[in-house]
Chain A
Amino acid sequence: MIPFSIDGQPVEGREGGNILETALDAGIEIPHLCFNESVKPYGACRLCLVEVVRNGKSRMAASCTHPVQKGMEVFTRTEKVLRARKMITELILAMCPGDKLIQEMAKGMGIDEVRFKKEEKDCILCGLCARVCDEVVGANAIHFAFRGDRREMIPPFQGEATNCIACGACVVVCPVDVIRMKEEGDERTIIRWKRTLKMKSCKVCGNYFAPWFQLEKFKEKAKLPKDFYDLCYTCRS
C-alpha cells in the first residue's frame, strides 16, 4: 500500500491505483462523471480535478488518471480546485443544457447563468457507455466518431448498432441518463443505438427476461449448456 494524504487526512492507495478510487474508498467526496470502478479510468470529464503537491510543487491533475505516489499531498477543495471545477461544470452545462444531473451540479456550485454559447446536445461525451460495452460486455457496439467539437458517440456508420446485444449496460451506466431503453411485448429497444431485439421468455413463468441475441452470445462465450437460459433468473434460483 502507498501512503499519502488527501486534504490532510492520511490514506493508503493500492499499488497502481489512482487518487480518485482511494479518495472514494476513504469516504472523501470528489465529484466525477466519467469514472466507474469496473472500467479503466479515461479522464474525459475533467470534473475530478484536484491539486497535487509533490516535492513542494503544486499541479492540477484529474484524480481518476493520476497514479498514487508515496508522500504526495492531494487537496480536493482549495480555491483553485473549486474555481476550475465550477468552470468545467459551466462548460458541460453549456454543451448539454437539458441534463438534470448537470443542472443540479451547477446549482450546487452556485452557477446561475451560463456565459458560453449553448448547444443542444444531451450526451456529455464521457465515453463511459463505450468503455463498458468494450471492456465489460465485450460487444464493441458503439464508440466515439469524428473529433473536436463534432465528436459524437454513435454506432458505426450512424445507423443501427449491429453489434449491440441490447444488454442495457450503457443505459445503466450513463451518468446523465440519456441512453434510454424500452420494452414492448417481446421486444427490447435501445433507442439511442436504434437497436431492437426479440426477447426470450422463461419456460416456467412466461415472462420475457432477456434478448435472444444476448443469451446466445453469453452461452457461446461462457460455454454454457444449451438449456441454461430456458428459465429466467428468478425461476432458476
Chain B
Amino acid sequence: MTHSEIEAITERYENRESAILSMLQDIQAKEKYLPQEALERLGEKLGIPMNKIYRIATFYRAFSLTPKGQHEVCVCIGTACHVRGAQRVVDQINLELGIRPGETTKDRNFTLETVNCLGVCAAGPVAAIDGQYFGKMSPAKVGGTLKKFRSDKKKKEGANGKA
C-alpha cells in the first residue's frame, strides 16, 4: 500500500485516532490482510506507537496479518450447523484443498475460515464463499461448489494470458 492510499484512508476519518478500527478495516478490505508496512505507515501518520496497533490488529479475528487467498471460504460451525454436520463439511474442504481453518492454499486461491454463525441457521450447514451463501451443504457438495471458484480463477488467468 502506498503512502497516498494510507493517507486517503486516514483523511476519510479526519486523522482521528479513535477511528483506528475503521481504518484497519479499510486496509483489510483493500489488501485482504494487514501488511506490516501499511500498519507502520498508519502508525506514523496518526502518531500511534506500533505496539498499540499490533495489539488491536491481533485482538480481533476479523483482521489477518497473513496474506489471504483470492476466495474466502467461511464455514459456519454454530450450534445449528454443528448438529447438522458442519464439521464434516470442514473436513471435506480440508481434504479437497489441504488447508485447515485459518490457512491459505499455496496458490493463494482459497482461505478457509470457520465462523460461529452466518445468520441463516434454517439453511444449515451453511458455507459462504466471498459473501455468496451456500445452504444445506454436505461433504458431497463441497467439491462442486469449490469448483465454481477454481475455474473462475483459471478463466481469468487465461484471459489475462491472452491479453
Residues of B within 8 A of A155 (CB): 51
Residues of A within 8 A of B53 (CB): 156
Residues of A within 8 A of B59 (CB): 145-147
Q: How far is the CA of A130 from the CA of B50 in the complex (A)?
A: 13
Asked if A163 contacts B54 (CB within 8 A), the reply is no
- Of the listed residues A130, A144, A146, A157, the one surrounded by the most CB atoms of chain B closer than 10 A to its CB is A157
How big is chain B's contact interface, by range?
10 to 19
What does the 1/0 interface line of A173-193 toward B look like (CB < 8 Å)?
Answer: 000000000000000000000
A69 within 8 A of B: no
Query: Which of B26-81 touch A at CB < 8 Å?
Result: 36, 49-55, 58-59, 65
Q: How far is the CA of A140 from the CA of B48 in the complex (A)?
A: 10
Residues of A within 8 A of B65 (CB): 157
Residues of A within 8 A of B58 (CB): 145-147
A143 within 8 A of B: yes
Asked if B54 contacts A141 (CB within 8 A), the reply is no
Q: How many residues of A contact B (CB 8 A)?
A: 15
Q: How far is the CA of A155 from the CA of B58 in the complex (A)?
A: 12
Query: A156-B50, A163-B49 are contacts. A143–B36 as well, Cβ < 8 Å?
Result: no
Residues of B within 8 A of A143 (CB): 51-52, 54-55
A142 within 8 A of B: yes
Our pick among A140, A144, A146, A147 for the contact of B50 (Cβ within 8 Å) is: A140
Q: Distance (Å) between the CB of A150 and the closest chain B CB?
A: 9
Q: How far is the CA of A142 from the CA of B54 in the complex (A)?
A: 9
Residue of B nearest to A150 (CB): B58
Q: Distance (Å) between the CB of B49 and the closest chain A CB?
A: 3
Residue of A nearest to B51 (CB): A143
Residues of A within 8 A of B52 (CB): 140, 143
Asked if B55 contacts A145 (CB within 8 A), the reply is yes
Residues of A within 8 A of B36 (CB): 157
What does the 1/0 interface line of A151-183 toward B look like (CB < 8 Å)?
Answer: 000011100001100000000000000000000
Q: Distance (Å) between the CB of A88 and the closest chain B CB?
A: 24
Q: Which 9 residue pairs of A and B lie closest in terms of their CB atoms, listed nearest first?
A: A140-B49, A156-B54, A143-B51, A145-B58, A156-B50, A143-B55, A146-B58, A140-B51, A147-B59
30 A-B pairs in the complex with CB atoms less than 8 angstroms apart: A130-B51, A134-B49, A134-B51, A140-B49, A140-B50, A140-B51, A140-B52, A141-B51, A143-B51, A143-B52, A143-B54, A143-B55, A144-B55, A145-B55, A145-B58, A145-B59, A146-B58, A146-B59, A147-B59, A155-B51, A156-B50, A156-B51, A156-B53, A156-B54, A157-B54, A157-B65, A162-B50, A163-B49, A163-B50, A163-B51
User: Which positions in A face B, CB cutoff 8 Å?
Assistant: 130, 134, 140-147, 155-157, 162-163
